[in-house]
Structure 1
Amino acid sequence: MLFVHPATGIEVAKGKFDSLVADADIRRIESELSFVQVKASMSTRARMQQVKNEICANRRQIAYSRLEAVAGAENPYSLIQIFGRGHLIVKAGAAMYVTHCSPVDVLPRTGTNCTEEIPVRWNNTDLFVDPISFVIQSAGTISRCNDIAPSRFQIAGRWYCMFPEMRECGAPEELPVQAVKIDEGKTTGLGLGRSIYTQDQIQAFVDFQDAHQVRRAYLAETAEIAYAGRGPNGEWGHGLGGLASASVVSLVGSHLIPLYAVFGPAAVIIIFSLFLVGVIRLVATLIIRVITIIRVRGFGLWVLAAIWGTAFQIALT
């Protein structure tokens, strides 16, 4: 059975419902979507432009850094990534001149000293090759020979060490790209208080390091001495210190004056004193002879006989 009870407190909606959205709402939604799309596109384009600008600025900065390295420190390897090996950089004023060298075949040779360059022979001439740029030069940079850190060169795919004779040795480790932990422990003193190198080898290595570290100090001191000894017209001085000047004087004196090796700098004073005594004796002898000839034979051409002892004796007879 169905019972129906009227409820006056409940209201029922009446009318016709429209399920379509108004045109204004559609346009508003489309506008918002278009704005979001344009904004995203412009943001992406701006970021890409910013990335391109950063890349361009970095490339320009790298180029400036390379030019500054060449102009300031005169680093011959600053442009090796651009021009490759076999080129020479020369600075003249505000310009850098890059010279491409012609390739030639050379033969390694044994040098008399340990050098930073590879000693070679080309066209019956002893030359040196830069181990990094492969440029041939007429002189090499001499370094101390040692067994711990010898000069290493890669020739025809193999590594050689200079002692100064060339010996085949192991290849050095390559520069790590990823971060590695560095062991700061002493590697030359491990193993029951002894090293794999002798004391003479370690001392030679210490002298080698010290010789490399004092090059800048030597150049600075030499430049200061040469600047302080400039002439009135701006000519540079000799650039030698007190010890170097004394060594040069000693070498020259030993070659020119035999007594210098015995008496040292006093040899010059001794020789000058003997020379002065000889001159005084010669002048006194001539005066006495001239007076004697004039008293015996009078004044005449025979007075010239006073110069020679034998003629003086004949003039008196």
Structure 2
Amino acid sequence: MKQLQLARIHRSSGAEMVSFVGWEMPLKYTSIAEEHMAVRDAVGLFDISHMGEILVRGEAAADFLQRVTTNDISKLGLLDAHYSTVLNERGGVKDDIFVYRLGEREYMVVTNAVNVEKIYGWFMQQASGKVDIEDVTPKTVMLALQGPKARQVLKQLTEFELGGLKRFKAAFMKVADLPLFVGCTGYTGEDGFEIYLMGEAASNSARAEKLWYALMRVGEEVGIKPCGIGARDTTRLEAGYVLYGNELTEEITPYEAKIPYAIKLEKGEFIGRGALMEQKTTGLKRVRIGLRMLERGIPRKDCKVRNGIRKP
């Protein structure tokens, strides 16, 4: 099982560790409900280093990503980000991803942990011409600082002017004297940041530990809580965000999953476009919908949903 660089800190903080897609991950530190509410009311800190990071570089990088992803790469300015998907030829979702433009000819694709090898292999299979593809997941530590007070916490550790860092924007900056890449993105429905310690800076756990401790220290006065994957799931569910393996699979299209904003048919040809065009013409036979809970509780995968009077 793969180990997080911060595993020692998680255990010493009382985390309940569980196996998740080949990684040992913190499920919770206190309770999922308490961590969930910290994200909603104050700020939570997640270790999400299990997520995948793939660098795509070269003269043909933009053309390559335009063909293998569904959003419009040509609209990404320097240090912009957008949400997108990678499809199979049938229009089914191989993964939903974030794409950051790091440089003129350099992009970073952030994948779900369960799909890193699949997407890297698919990219390598589809690549041709002047494009270089590198899986840098093993050399990256990724944290998520999420909640209405996330900006207040981060600004105490950096000289970078965070006022200009709006949703789907990113920047290289120093935080706690560590060189980081920071995106104003997240998976909770709150304001916040996803923080990347990459390359040589992530080569030993001491730097990752320094970053974690610094964020927890300055966040103490506003009620920061360490959060596990349990609260990550409940916050994304409450926000209506899809999760691969649940609302997204290779048998579900983006239109069926109700994420049309990740699709730009007008940009031209890309893998899976034909299948999506057909769906637009013929209509959908199924679609994801949201449900509002009438009683306290967390809806889980495979829970029964009934239409009408509850059976005794």
| TM-score category, normalised to shorter length | under 0.3
Q: Structure 2 length normalisation: TM-score?
A: 0.23
More contact order relative to length (CA 8 Å, sep ≥ 6): 2
Q: Structure 1 length normalisation: TM-score?
A: 0.23
